[in-house]
């Protein structure tokens, strides 16, 4: 800090204001720290190079004439190749940039497995082999308990073992066999995969997820006694999930059957929509993968659910549903057990609080993703409620038995 400067002559003396310290108005240069990250330097260099090339391309378009710069584009300017030696390179670069952008747009619709630190890669590497191994073990035990099933269980375990091996060794996806209506569709989809992207670890992730469960279904369908719907190979697991959730279902059933008289219908509807949202966490295909038990996820998110909701249009949805005169709402069912219970509760609340005339439920036609709902799962839930010792569950089971 230096000595203050004398008061300038153009300031009247009667003001008698001290002049500020020089450090408050004298410029002090500051410098940002240089970027030393290798990745950021490479990105910056690539951006600068593209900017230069794009600027040169625009310069050619704006200043030269005689030939068309981009074939097929009548609205483009013209360039004279005799005036710029690098014209061919610039044209090629411009078209390459367009092709790269188009390629990025087309590939962004699919998720691939190149990155090994992702949930997708982890699913194929760990979750699916575990799922197939459990089915092999379960099927083997089934054959050891029932001699009449021994031949079929041996056939299934052999097919599943081969399927697991092909998955873990990244073999090409095989065409499906059988006479089901969807075989041709599946095989056409497998054939459409490009060479180099048609193995278990190179094909699009979601396609692999679905293909695995469809292949498991094929293994059981080739038998005489273990085919679906005669036998649901995920049925025991779904039944245990339902039984483990009954205590939490009892409390919610009571709230549904005996809502508070002071609670407006739209608020009741909003609460049961939230129940369906958080019921999705009861997915048996991923619970064990994250070290969770069903009891950990059947009581909502815990704390303030709004704080962990990324986007929320609940009020608009409720307002829209309350205004509908007649009509139908379709619900796409996902997981059985606790989430199915939440979906059926929502359907019941919709019929009680709105002017809708019907609710249509959509379920899977084959066992899917371990815990997805089939028609038999809906029937099993209603039957278990009817046989329950809990009055609320028994009342709901009787009511829902008449709804279908």
58-67 long-range Cβ contacts below 8 angstroms, 24+ apart: 60/84, 60/87, 60/90
- 238: its two tokens: 């779904």
- 330: its two tokens: 């379709």
328-332 and 67-68 beta bridge pairing = unpaired
pLDDT score of 66 = 43
Spatial distance between the Cα atoms of 241 and 221, rounded to a whole number of angstroms: 25
Spatial distance between the Cα atoms of 138 and 27, rounded to a whole number of angstroms: 78
From first to last of its 404 residues, what are the pLDDT tens digits of the chain? Answer: 556 667 777 777 777 766 666 666 666 666 666 777 767 777 788 888 878 877 777 776 666 654 444 454 444 444 454 444 454 544 555 455 555 555 554 444 677 777 788 888 999 999 999 999 999 999 999 999 999 999 999 999 999 999 999 999 999 999 999 889 999 999 999 999 988 899 999 999 999 999 999 999 999 999 999 999 999 999 999 999 999 889 889 999 999 999 999 999 999 999 999 988 888 887 777 766 555 566 555 554 444 577 778 889 999 999 999 999 999 999 999 999 999 999 999 999 999 999 999 999 999 999 999 999 999 999 999 999 999 999 999 999 999 999 98
Spatial distance between the Cα atoms of 82 and 69, rounded to a whole number of angstroms: 13
Coil/strand/helix, residue 120: helix
Q: How many CB atoms lie within 10 A of CB 233?
A: 22
pLDDT score of 113 = 76
Look at the block and give the residue holding tokens 């307002």: 319
pTM of the model: 0.70
Structural contact between residues 282 and 294, judged by C-beta atoms closer than 8 angstroms:
yes
pLDDT score of 187 = 97
- 195: its two tokens: 């060479």
Closest Cα partner for 331 from 316, 313, 347, 351? 347
């Amino acid at each position: 800090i230096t000595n203050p400067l004398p008061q300038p002559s153009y300031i009247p003396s009667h003001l008698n204001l001290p002049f500020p310290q020089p450090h408050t108005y004298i410029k002090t240069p500051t410098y940002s720290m240089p970027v030393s990250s290798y990745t950021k330097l490479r990105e910056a260099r690539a951006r600068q190079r593209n900017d230069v090339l794009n600027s040169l391309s625009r310069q050619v378009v704006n200043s030269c004439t005689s030939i068309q710069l981009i074939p097929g584009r009548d609205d483009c300017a013209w360039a004279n190749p005799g005036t710029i030696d690098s014209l061919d390179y610039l044209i090629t670069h411009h078209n390459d940039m367009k092709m790269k952008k188009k390629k990025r747009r087309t590939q962004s619709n699919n998720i691939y497995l190149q990155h090994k630190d992702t949930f997708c890669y982890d699913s194929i590497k760990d979750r699916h082999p575990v799922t197939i191994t459990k089915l092999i073990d379960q099927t083997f035990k089934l054959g050891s308990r029932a001699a009449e099933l021994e031949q079929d269980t041996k056939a299934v375990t052999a097919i599943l073992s081969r399927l697991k091996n092909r998955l873990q060794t990244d073999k090409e996806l095989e065409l499906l066999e059988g006479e089901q209506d969807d075989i041709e569709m599946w095989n056409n989809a497998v054939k459409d995969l490009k060479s180099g992207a048609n193995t278990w670890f190179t094909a699009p992730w979601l396609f692999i997820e679905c293909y695995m469960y469809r292949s498991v279904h094929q293994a059981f369908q080739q038998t005489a006694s273990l085919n679906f719907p005669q036998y649901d190979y995920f049925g025991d697991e779904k039944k245990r999930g339902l039984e483990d959730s009954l205590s939490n279902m009892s409390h919610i059933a009571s709230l549904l059957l005996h809502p508070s008289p002071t609670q407006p219908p739209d608020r009741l509807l909003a609460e049961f929509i939230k129940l369906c949202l958080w019921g999705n966490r009861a997915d048996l295909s991923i619970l064990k993968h994250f070290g969770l038990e069903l009891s950990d996820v059947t009581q909502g998110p815990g704390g303030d659910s709004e704080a962990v909701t990324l986007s929320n249009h609940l009020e608009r949805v409720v307002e829209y549903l309350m205004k509908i005169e007649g009509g139908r709402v379709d619900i796409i069912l996902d997981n059985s057990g606790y989430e199915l219970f939440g979906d059926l509760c929502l359907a019941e609340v919709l019929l009680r609080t709105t002017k809708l005339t019907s609710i249509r439920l959509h379920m899977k036609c084959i066992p899917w993703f371990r815990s997805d709902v089939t028609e038999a799962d809906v029937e099993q839930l209603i039957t278990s409620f009817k046989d329950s010792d809990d009055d609320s569950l028994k009342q709901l089971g009787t009511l829902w038995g008449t709804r279908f």
